[in-house]
Every structure is written in C-alpha cells, then in structure tokens.
Amino acid sequence: MEEKQVEEIAEARATLSYARISSRKVKIVADLMRGKKVDEAMQIAKFAPKASSEILEKLLKSAIANAENNHFMNKENLYVAEIYANQGPTLKRIRPAAKGSAVRIRKRTSHITIVLRESK
C-alpha cells in the first residue's frame, strides 16, 4: 500500500460573525475582491462606494495580520483565496402601521470569512 502525501497548504483566515449588514450587500464587494492580490483587494475595499467596504477592509487587515504574525507568511505573496458571506440570524423588530396594525422589520446579519494563501 502506498501512502499518499497530502501537501498542507498554509492559509490564514479572519472571520466576522454577526455583522449588522445583509450578506447580499457584502457579496457585491466580496465578488470583486476574490482571487486578487492583497494590495489590490485592499484598494477595492477602500474605494468601493458600498456600505460593506469598510467592514471588509477591516477584516482584510485582520487576515493579513494573522498571516504575518501567526503563520509567518510574506505579505507580498498573499492573495484572497476565498471570501464569502453567509446569512446570520435575523433580528425581528415591529413597527406600528396604519389602523392599529404592525409591520415586521427584518434586520439581517451576516457571517463574513476571508481566507488568504501564499502564491508560489
């Protein structure tokens, strides 16, 4: 029996849980950042005129810091391997409406994850 060598790919990740923004809004900027080098992704996050760009910029900085300090990776070789936003729990609120009725307001949350890898 041959033993197959499974090469361990070094990756650094940063996760933000319960972000008070809809995952749909986050995915717009996340799709632009996926597959890009870290510097280019940082520019996209900094200058995209979207609500989620500030959150993604902070999370990307955290992922870079994790890569440098915990996994001893070189910042120049990093790229955004995976970035995704999943739906979190929805906060349900009630707003008064006409004729004594009520309308439900859904305040959506999301869980955002960024995974960085080193290019060879």
Q: Residue 7: pLDDT above 80? A: no
- Per DSSP, the three-state class of 13 is strand
Strand pairing partners for 11? 117
CA-only gyration radius of the chain, Å: 19
Number of other CB atoms surrounding residue 110 within 10 Å = 24
The CA distance from 86 to 79, in Å, is 21
How confident is the prediction for the chain on average, in pLDDT? 93
Strands (E), the chain: 11-19, 78-87, 91-96, 102-107, 110-118
Q: What is the pTM of this model?
A: 0.87
pLDDT (tens digit per residue) in 16-64? 999 999 999 999 999 999 999 999 999 999 999 999 999 999 999 999 9
